[in-house]
Structure 1
């Protein structure tokens, strides 16, 4: 257990120390988020390539702890590709198709390094699993691209994406311990420490943003680690990581449905996300973020319950969570016409 603490502590220290230097570098290369429209919550220009500190911290810890397994190399290379695409987007504003291209390439790199979904276990049935062969390639790409974009979309308030990544990483850590996926244990701790080390600079009032490079990086790493840890080994394939990452996933799904209802392009930004609704209720940025942390924590607890309860009780937990989420979406207008 001491080694686990050291991994977490070192990644935290790296990220915490590196972030001020990344902030200065962002000013030098003019990687600044200037509030140009009403969708922006902040009012002052803020540097936005904070993901660089998290990437360096993540890679440095992999080298220090000699984590050179084939799958980890694939995750690291894919993470760099995702970061590069996000970095270029932060500087030059890529088109949606260009962003997706980087994400698909990163997902294909994971697959090439044997980080992919190979089996589907029937939800809430401990004994039945199905080898899905080439369909796993498509499912892996959908999962990676989906979670990567979900984290990017939810990054709308100071400290929101980084905090949710920390919470999700810690629950993936617990799930990986239960399922004895030791590689995933180390990766979740590195990601959790790196996210938490960045958070003091990103929490309201933020002095630096993750940027697309950072938000996409966090989403990619969460998706890849969940494949390597949770999806690959536990009984309730797909269900557990979906619950852990439910907040960004649901917010993204609601956004897609909402934009379809309003006949808008899926890639077009709006102010209908969960955090916008919380602000409309009169909550401050800090209060809205803390509420979303709490919701993410509840989803994480649900994922653990699904892991440890009997299939019937696990199904009950999932139905309750799904029903409450849908009722919440309808009540707060996440699916309504404008």
Structure 2
């Protein structure tokens, strides 16, 4: 049971570990649909890695592991994926540089990617239906962009993604506000782990475009995680220390209801997905400008809602100074013309 406390938003104890149902539905469907297509050895090794993640989540839901202990479990699962299943990023093609063989860097880059995405999804699981809905949007976009634009030719990857979407869609009515059951860390860690694995299937030989698209698709959890780290560093707090200043907390503190907050964040996830669809049709310059515009717009939004802190608005303050300077110059010019 997930009991209320100072950091949680639920008012009553709530059944948790709903992620077990998602895990079972996803894997039963995979084995039924893909038993003749998916490489059997890789399927079983991936299943083994999933079991490590599920075990970590169940233990965390029961006795609440320390962040380092939780990440150790994900790290062990990532090792299985990297060394046994062979899911890894090996090369990177950069503009003006060409193809770079990652070599020994393949290991830390792949492991860090899995840890980062898994933890990011885990962090946004703070409201009824939030992580479930955002994950559905991100996974649907990943399936479409991967199949049509990123040359992920293995059809079984798309099938697996849609199997997970179906499992999440079946769970969402019971998880949406007012929830009857929570994902628990069992669910959020599993979903994040699978999203990381799926995205790596399109990043084996990464280019600038194939690298940026999954990052944009998972913009909501990545943004929340990056700014949580920045916020805690600026406030001289441990990075692993939980707080009530995540994206969903800030929106609720601004006056939105629980359900409104979730729907707003769904909308933000959809915007990120639409931006991701623009990259395959953009030139190198267009991709650069699109990325720049996305980052500027994101920073303005973050400062407006005070995700880092109400008094930390460097970009907004710069815009205000430039606007005041422009207005002052215009007034001086008008005064000079009158004379």
Give me the TM-score of the superposition, normalised by structure 1: 0.86
Distance in 2 (alpha carbons) for counterparts of 1:128 and 1:183: 30
1:232 to 192, 204, 207: 204
Query: 1:177 Cα shift?
Result: 1.4
Contact 1:150/1:248, CA 8 A, preserved across alignment = yes
Query: Could you tell which deviates more after superposition, 157-166 or 188-197?
Result: 188-197
**RMSD of equivalent CA atoms:** 1.7
Q: Which structure 1 segments of 5+ residues have no match?
A: 1-31
2:92 to 106, 120, 135: 120
Query: 1:73 Cα shift?
Result: 3.3
Distance in 2 (alpha carbons) for counterparts of 1:268 and 1:324: 28
Distance in 2 (alpha carbons) for counterparts of 1:183 and 1:61: 12
Distance in 1 (alpha carbons) for counterparts of 2:79 and 2:206: 23
1:318 to 270, 291, 301: 291
Residue of structure 1 equivalent to 2:170: 197
Residue of structure 2 equivalent to 1:10: none
Can you list the C-alpha shifts for 1:23-51, whole angstroms capped at 9, x where unaligned?
xxxxxxxxx001022x2111011011000
Residue of structure 1 equivalent to 2:129: 159
SS in 2 for 1:231: coil
Q: Quick check: 1:60 aligned with 2:28?
A: yes
Q: Which structure 2 segments of 5+ residues have no match?
A: 312-339
1:258–1:127 Cα change, 3 Å: closer
SS in 2 for 1:254: helix
Residue of structure 1 equivalent to 2:318: none
SS in 1 for 2:4: coil
SS in 1 for 2:108: helix
SS in 1 for 2:244: coil
Residue of structure 2 equivalent to 1:111: 82
Q: Quick check: 1:138 aligned with 2:108?
A: yes
1:95 to 42, 48, 66: 66
Query: 1:126 Cα shift?
Result: 9.6
Q: Quick check: 1:336 aligned with 2:304?
A: no
Query: Could you tell which deviates more after superposition, 307-316 or 285-294?
Result: 307-316
Bigger Rg, structure 1 or 2: 2
1:157–1:172 Cα change, 3 Å: same
| Large movers: runs of 4+ above 6 Å | none
Distance in 2 (alpha carbons) for counterparts of 1:84 and 1:256: 26
Distance in 2 (alpha carbons) for counterparts of 1:126 and 1:164: 35
1:279–1:311 Cα change, 3 Å: same
Distance in 1 (alpha carbons) for counterparts of 2:28 and 2:305: 43
Contact 2:38/2:156, CA 8 A, preserved across alignment = no
SS in 1 for 2:31: helix
Residue of structure 2 equivalent to 1:176: 146
Distance in 1 (alpha carbons) for counterparts of 2:251 and 2:78: 33
Number of residue pairs matched by the alignment: 303
Contact 1:176/1:184, CA 8 A, preserved across alignment = no
SS in 1 for 2:100: strand
Contact 1:82/1:106, CA 8 A, preserved across alignment = yes
Query: Could you tell which deviates more after superposition, 175-184 or 75-84?
Result: 175-184
